[in-house]
């Protein structure tokens, strides 16, 4: 029987400590889970320390007054020449065309409407993902989504973990230990993706809509996630026909990126993929049926 553990804010921290002792693949899955629930067990990378200033050089012995005066005059003339040259460069720069910045979408409302149409046109979605944690480690897997409310991440070996949402809860299962931890789906910043009808401006706070070199980026904030405000960036192709990536910055400032590939919309999926055993009698019976059908 799968163990049942319900996670709250305190127990999420405990989960992070347990995952910190796991192997790199499990720890990387833990980093993804932490990005959903607002905690990272690893410290943020510290900026490199600035090099210490060099000690001041000792002043050279003074020369005679005539040589000093001559050197000063020469230095003043060189400084005047350099200043004149700099002024000419500034004047030339004023007349030169400015560097072209990436174009902003002409109408952010139109872009948001297109993004909403993309999400609302999805009933099921399958594909592959590559997750990049705050420490740069990568782990791939398979993604399955069925609206409303159901989502599954199957991580590649050697990770024994899988993440399943059934519309009410999110279960993090360890196939090796035969356990699962339960979270409330409302605690995750990706909950809006699972709604039957999505309105980004209504469900979240839109902070920016911009063009990236390869497509369109929509920046959002979710203030309802556990631990504080999570920042979410969604990356689409230029025509907003494909979601290529999302990036989550948790309340502590750690970033987890998930890149998507080989996405297929409308593909038939098995509903039992999203089953969560809560330990009830009916759940145990359903678990047996699923296991028998898989034999």
List the strands of the sheet with 169-174, edge to edge: 3-6, 179-184, 169-174, 161-166, 150-155, 138-146, 124-132, 255-265, 243-249, 230-236, 215-222, 205-212
Q: In this model, does residue 249 exceed pLDDT 80?
A: yes
71-85, 114-128, 210-224: segment of lowest average pLDDT: 71-85
Please tell me the predicted confidence (pLDDT) of residue 72: 53
59-68, 88-97, 276-285: segment of lowest average pLDDT: 88-97
Please tell me the predicted confidence (pLDDT) of residue 235: 96
Residue 255 tokens read as: 């970033």
Which CATH number applies to 3-42+104-277: 2.160.20.10, 2.50.20.10, 3.40.50.720, 3.40.50.300?
2.50.20.10
- Rounded to an integer, what is the distance from CA 17 to the centroid of its chain? 21
Residues 6+ apart with CB under 8 A from 113: none
Torsion, Cα of 225, 231, 235, 241 (10° steps): 40
80-94, 101-115, 118-132: segment of lowest average pLDDT: 80-94
Distance CA 6, CA 216 (A): 38
Going 8 to 10 to 16 to 18, the CA torsion angle's sign is negative
pLDDT tens digit sequence for 223-233: 877 667 889 99
Distance CA 125, CA 273 (A): 13
Please, what's the b/e burial string for 231-261 (b: 16 or more CB within 10 A of its CB; e: otherwise)?
bbbbbbeeebebbbbbbbbbbeebbbbbbbe
Which residue matches tokens 């920042």? 231
Please tell me the predicted confidence (pLDDT) of residue 190: 77
pLDDT tens digit sequence for 60-88: 444 454 555 555 555 555 555 555 454 44
pTM: 0.66
- Rounded to an integer, what is the distance from CA 86 to the centroid of its chain? 44
Q: Name the burial class of residue 113, with classes exposed (0-12), middle (13-18) and buried (19+) by CB atoms within 10 angstroms of its CB.
A: middle
Q: In this model, does residue 97 exceed pLDDT 70?
A: no
Distance CA 81, CA 276 (A): 78
Q: In this model, does residue 280 exceed pLDDT 60?
A: yes
């Amino acid at each position: 029987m799968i163990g049942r553990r319900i996670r709250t804010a305190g127990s999420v921290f405990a989960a992070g400590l347990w995952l910190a002792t796991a192997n790199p693949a499990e720890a990387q899955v833990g980093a993804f889970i932490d990005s959903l629930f607002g905690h990272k067990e690893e410290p943020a990378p510290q900026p490199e320390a600035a090099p210490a200033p060099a000690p001041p050089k000792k002043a050279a012995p003074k020369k005679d007054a005539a040589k000093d005066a001559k050197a000063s005059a020469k230095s003043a003339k060189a400084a005047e020449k350099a200043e004149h040259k700099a002024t000419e460069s500034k004047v030339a720069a004023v007349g030169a065309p400015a560097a072209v910045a990436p174009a902003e979408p002409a109408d952010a409302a139109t872009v948001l409407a297109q993004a909403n149409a993309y999400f609302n046109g999805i009933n099921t979605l399958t594909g592959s993902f590559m997750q990049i944690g705050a420490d740069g480690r990568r782990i791939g897997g398979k993604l399955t989504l069925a609206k409303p409310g159901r989502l599954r991440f199957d991580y590649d070996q050697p990770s024994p973990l899988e993440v399943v949402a059934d519309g009410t809860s999110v279960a993090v299962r360890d196939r090796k230990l035969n356990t699962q931890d339960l979270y409330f789906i409302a605690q995750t910043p990706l909950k809006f993706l699972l709604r039957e009808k999505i309105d980004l401006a209504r469900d979240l706070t839109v902070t920016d809509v911009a063009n990236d070199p390869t497509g369109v980026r929509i920046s959002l904030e979710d203030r309802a996630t556990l631990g504080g405000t999570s920042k979410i960036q969604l990356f689409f192709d230029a025509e907003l026909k494909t979601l290529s990536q999302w990036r989550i910055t948790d309340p502590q400032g750690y970033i987890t990126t998930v890149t998507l590939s080989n996405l297929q919309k409308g593909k038939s999926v098995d509903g039992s993929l999203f089953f969560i055993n809560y330990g009830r009698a009916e759940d145990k019976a359903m678990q047996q049926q699923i296991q028998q059908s898989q034999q």
